Amino acid sequence: MSDDEWLFFEPFLHAQGPKSGRPPSNHRLTLDGIFWIARTGAPWRDLPNYFGKWSSVYRQFRRWTLLGVWDVLLDALNDAKAVPDTVQMIDSTIIRAHHQAAGAKGGLKRGSRPFKRWLYVQNTPSNKCRRLANSSEISEGQTSDYKGYAPLMEWGGPDAKVLLADKGYDANSIRDDMEKRGGYAMIPMRKNRKEITPVDDFVYGLRNQVERCFNKLKNARRVATRYDKTMLSFLGFVQVTSIRVWVKYFVNRT
């Protein structure tokens, strides 16, 4: 990562508490190692020695993931309010689970179905980077789309004035919730509705940004395919990749 990117990460990763143990090692190099794993999709044991012992980098990744460091970083980026939050969008995609992801206690079983990744995305005015993920969730592949709405909306950031989603999210509960939040759910209605409310084609056309966000995140091969045995580790890589996109957006703006 560049020096400008590290300026954002450093205060969060070097924070020390009264029982932090030994002083922190080179967290910048460790984070670069995590980025390398996320981008290449390589096994941890194939991490180049340049980044240090693979087991040390892996343990630090798990430590930061369990402590919720990635959640804190995403909250900080969202709370900065440097990006307009008027139009936001939600969607899900199916992710293939590699056979190596099976076997962990309480995790995937061999031959299990694919699973879903949900994204809550906001549109930005920049043509260079118009897809920033506010939050993400993971679920079993057979989960209905609208059931992913509530967990994503708990992210705690600013509410959208307009929420874009496809017909899979056409539910009265979602529309009512958006109204309580002071926003409007622009979701095409199913044909079996007695009364059809039309959508604005120009505004709804922005929804393709969530699809592009999925594609951008899938450039990280560790995100495109699940290799991790635990759901939390995989979600950690999704968050790490999302944060990297956010930080690059801010660096490019300055």
Tell me how far apart the alpha carbons of residues 238 and 100 are, in angstroms, rounded to a whole number: 18
Burial classification of residue 12, based on how many CB atoms lie within 10 Å of its CB (0-12 exposed, 13-18 middle, 19 or more buried): middle
Buried b (16+ CB within 10 A) or exposed e, 224-245: bbbbbbbbebbbbbbbbbbbbb
Per residue, the 3-state secondary structure of 109-135, as one string, reads: CCCCCCEEEEEEEECCCCCCCCCEEEE
Contact indicator for 58, 45 with CB cutoff of 8 Å: no
User: What pLDDT, on the 0 to 100 scale, is given for residue 129?
Assistant: 42
DSSP state of 199: -
What value does the mean pLDDT take over residues 126-134?
53
Q: Indicate if the pLDDT at residue 87 is higher than 90.
A: no
| pLDDT (tens digit per residue) in 138-186 | 666 556 666 777 777 776 566 778 888 888 888 888 899 889 988 898 9
Higher-pLDDT residue of 137, 249: 249
The model's pLDDT over 222-237, given as tens digits with 9 standing for 90+, comes to: 988 888 888 888 889 9
**Distance separating alpha carbons of residues 209 and 214, to the nearest angstrom:** 9
pLDDT digits (tens, 9 = 90+) for 182-217: 889 898 988 888 888 888 888 888 888 777 788 888
Quick check: 120 and 90 in contact, CB under 8 A? yes
166 to 20, 139, 146, 206: CA distances (angstroms)? 46, 18, 10, 12
Question: 132-140 and 115-122: which strand pairing?
Answer: antiparallel
What does the alpha-carbon distance between residue 154 and residue 25 come to, in Å, rounded to a whole number?
34
* Mean predicted lDDT score pLDDT of the chain: 78
The tally of CA atoms less than 13 A away on the side-chain side of residue 243 is 25
pLDDT at residue 61 in the model:
95
